[in-house]
Amino acid sequence: MAFRAGFVGVVGRPNVGKSTIVNALVGSKVSIVADKPQTTRFAVRGVANGPDRQIVFVDTPGLHKPRTPLGERLNRRVAESASNVDALLLVVDAAAGVGRGDAFVADRELPGFAGQKVCAANKIDLLKREAVVRELEAAARLADFDHVVPVSGRTGAGLGGLIDVLASCLPEGDPLFPADQVTDLPLETRVEEIVREKALAVAREELPHSIAVRVEEMDVDDAADLARISCTVYVERDSQKGMVVGRGGATIKRIGTQARAELEPMLGRHVFLDLRVKVLREWQRDPSALDRLGL
C-alpha cells in the first residue's frame, strides 16, 4: 500500500471542538482547549502518524465576524492556512445544531477550494439517533462535501473512520515530519499556550479575549533537572489584573500550579514557573501590541 502524506486544514466557527478533535486524532495535546470562543489564535500544526500515512492537521482559529484588529488577524490566519492544504475539514457542532454560523464559514472557505472537502459533525454523543441523522442532513446541505462523518471528539466515537477518510484525501508521498514529532510549534509558544489555557479556565466571562501570555525567559538546567520559566500574563485593564492575581495572589498561584502540572511531563523535568501580571491597555485593538505579542 502506498504511503500518503499531506496537510488537512481544520476550519469551523468558534467553539465547535476543532482543537479537541485534532488533539484526539494526533494522540497528543497540540492545541489548548477551553469552553471560550476564539481560544485558538494561530494555525497549530499537529502530526498524526500511521503505518501508511502522515496527516498534518492545521488547526485554525474559529472564523467569526471580527470586532477588533485581533479578530481581523485571526480571520486572515484562517484564510491563509486553508488555502495551502490538500484537504479541508469543516467541523460543526451537531449538538448545538447546524446553523447560520456554519453556513458563514462554509460559504467563505469552501467554494474556491479545489481539493477534497470533508465535514465532521461533532458532539454526536450528546444527541439521540434521530437528531444525529437530522444534523448530518443539515451539514450535508452546507456544501458539496466528499464525505460527512459523525464524530465525538470527547468520546472518540467515529474518529477512526474520520482519519481513514482524511488519509484517502491525501496524495501519495514521503512523510513531511519526523515520526516522533507531534507539532511544529516552538517550545516557548507551547509553554505560553498552556499557561493561557489555565488562565482561561479560571477567568471570568469578560476576561478570555483580554488574556495574552509571553515567555520572557526560559532556562533549562540539565544538571539540576530543572526548567526555570518566567512568563508575563497580559490583560487590558487594571480591574482585570486584580481578577487574574486574585486575593492575596491566590488566583495566579492556582494558574501556576495547574500549568506546572502539565509542563513538567511535557518537558520531562521539574519546572520553576514565575508568573507576573501586567496591564497592556487595549492590546487587542493596538497593531503594535499585537506584533509585540506575536499575534
pLDDT tens per residue across span 234-246: 998 898 898 899 8
Model confidence at 70, pLDDT cuts 50, 70, 90, reads low
Q: Describe the crossing of helices 159-168 and 18-26 by its angle, rounded to 10 degrees.
A: 80
199 or 38, greater pLDDT = 199
For 277, the grid coordinates are: 501580571
141-145, 173-177, 205-209: which has the minimum mean pLDDT?
A: 205-209
The answer to whether residue 66 scores a pLDDT higher than 70 is no
DSSP 16-38: SSHHHHHHHHHTS--S---SSTT
User: Per-domain residue ranges for the chain?
Assistant: 4-168, 187-292
% pLDDT > 90, the chain:
52
d(CA 288, CA 229): 25
The answer to whether residue 217 scores a pLDDT higher than 80 is yes
For 221, the grid coordinates are: 538546567
Helix extents (H) in the chain: 18-26, 69-82, 100-109, 129-140, 159-168, 187-202, 238-245, 250-267, 287-292
Determine the CATH number of domain 4-168: 3.40.50.300
pTM metric for this prediction: 0.80
The CATH class for the domain spanning 187-292 reads: alpha beta
HSE toward the beta carbon, residue 59, CA cutoff 13 A: 31
Question: For residues 166 and 118, is the Cβ–Cβ distance under 8 A?
Answer: yes
The answer to whether residue 68 scores a pLDDT higher than 70 is no
How far, CA to CA in Å, does 286 sit from each of 63, 69, 71, 281, 292? 20, 7, 12, 9, 10
Mean pLDDT of the chain: 86
Q: For residue range 111-151, what is the model confidence (pLDDT) as tens digits? A: 788 889 999 999 999 999 899 999 999 999 999 999 999 99
Question: For residues 5 and 54, is the Cβ–Cβ distance under 8 A?
Answer: yes
Write the single-letter amino acid at 238.
D
